Chains A and B, each alone.
Chain A
């Protein structure tokens, strides 16, 4: 399995909702990432997990809460989001933090 799989592909949520994005890889990668990408912009790093521990939080608002239950799974819990949080959320993984990163297909999130 050489894929990073993200679910759901699309998500529409209200500002009072709680939802979660999921990411899974079975390549034995020990670094996993969440990125946010707005239209016509580069991916913007949110969080990095290395060996299931949070190693980088790019000053992301607390309404985004990451979780790494095990070495294959990465979640992003969403609560009380704002319309400006609407974006493509990309998960990525790499063998180590200094090797090539592979992206999932993303979750397109719309906050209404």
Chain B
């Protein structure tokens, strides 16, 4: 089955710096890769996603890149702000006996210091 690895597990940056979180996946058939942000005590919220027919997608300060050959995808946050502090999860949509399901990475705790 699909396996998603995520690095780093924790990331501390100064406000205004960029942050990069990387994920690798194992199943070349996976074709959808969302990123979720989860603040303490709250629900995971979808912040950006990318499909396998696209190499890069941007939404204001957030961008995601996908390298299908290497089976890895990354989240880039520019001009970080303290409110970006949260746990970020990557995920890959895997096929399971004909049905599709999201497999999550282990999460990255991002801390942005003022």
Contact = CB atoms under 8 A, between A and B. Distances in A.
Interface stretch (A14-22, A39-47, A62-70, A72-80): A39-47
Q: Chain B binding site: helix, strand, loop or mixed by DSSP? A: strand
A18 B31 CA distance: 40
Contacts of B101: 45, 48, 56, 97
Given A42-B107, A56-B101, A98 B93 contact: yes
Contact of B46 (A42, A90, A101): A101
A82 interface: no
Interface centre among A50, A97, A98 (most CB of B within 10 A): A98
B86 interface: no
Contacts of A100: 34, 46, 49
A110 interface: no
B32 to A, nearest CB: 6
Interface residues of A, number: 21
A99 B89 CA distance: 17
A105 interface: yes
Interface centre among B31, B96, B99, B100 (most CB of A within 10 A): B100
B107 A41 contact: yes
Interface in B83-114: 89, 93, 96, 99-107
Given A40-B107, A97-B99, 6 more contacts: A45-B101, A45-B103, A50-B99, A97-B100, A101-B46, A103-B36
Interface of A: 40-45, 48, 50, 55-56, 90, 97-106
Interface of B: 31-32, 34, 36, 42-46, 49, 89, 93, 96, 99-107
